[in-house]
Structure 1
Amino acid sequence: MYHEHQLPCLHCHPHRYIRMVQHLIERCLLLRMSRDDCVEALAEHARIRPLVTLTVWKELIKENRDFFEAYYHAISPRPLNWRPIQRVSRFGRRKQWK
């Protein structure tokens, strides 16, 4: 059982606890949170020690390096001079009617 804990205990059920932390990290990823934001959120809302979150995060990176490279690229802030690419239709530019 969980002994007086509602959530799995790291000492009583380490495998369940780590899976729970992994699940919570995945939820943070769905919310497009950075690693630091995720660590802070789990510490505040789930009372998970930052060292535990960071350790699980690092293991997830080892297992899914390509995903995390794409993820970091997707959530990184754009440079200030960044402008979206303007697409030209496949028919080319049409003259404006006057």
Structure 2
Amino acid sequence: MYQNQEYPFPCLCCHPQSYIRMVQNLIERCLVLGMDRDQCVKALAIHARIRPLVTLTVWRELLKENTGFFQAYFSSISCRGLKQA
């Protein structure tokens, strides 16, 4: 049957670029799922054991590099929240 295998994450100290790239990819997955920043930070802390400070730092850099995308994204998820209320 299915075995739960541990896949090693890159080490922040040994391979910082790989680690940051992994966090970026996980944040992008959270965005696909429609999560806001706090939901993403919490999900990565619980499911990937990534420290919230790391997630927030990578999030902030993504926000700086992709301002237009995030403005549209935040508008989209806020409109979705209004429709559900």
Q: TM-score range by the shorter chain?
A: 0.7 to 0.9
Query: Equivalences for 1:66-81 in 2 at 5 Å?
Result: 66-76=68-78, 77-78=81-82
Matching residue's letter, 1:72: F
Q: Give 5+ residue unaligned stretches, structure 1.
A: 83-98
In the other structure, the counterpart of 2:50 is 48
Query: Structure 2 length normalisation: TM-score?
Result: 0.85
Q: 2:83 & 2:43 partners in 1: Cα distance? A: 26
Q: Give 5+ residue unaligned stretches, structure 2.
A: 1-6
Aligned length: 77
User: What is the Cα-based RMSD across aligned positions, in Å?
Assistant: 1.8
In the other structure, the counterpart of 2:12 is 10
Does 1 or 2 have the higher relative contact order (CA < 8 Å, sep 6+)? 2
| 4+ runs deviating over 4 angstroms | none
Matching residue's letter, 1:13: H
| 1:78 CA displacement | 1.4
- Helix, strand or coil for the counterpart of 2:41? helix
**Structure that is richer in helix per residue:** 2
Matched residues, percent identical? 66
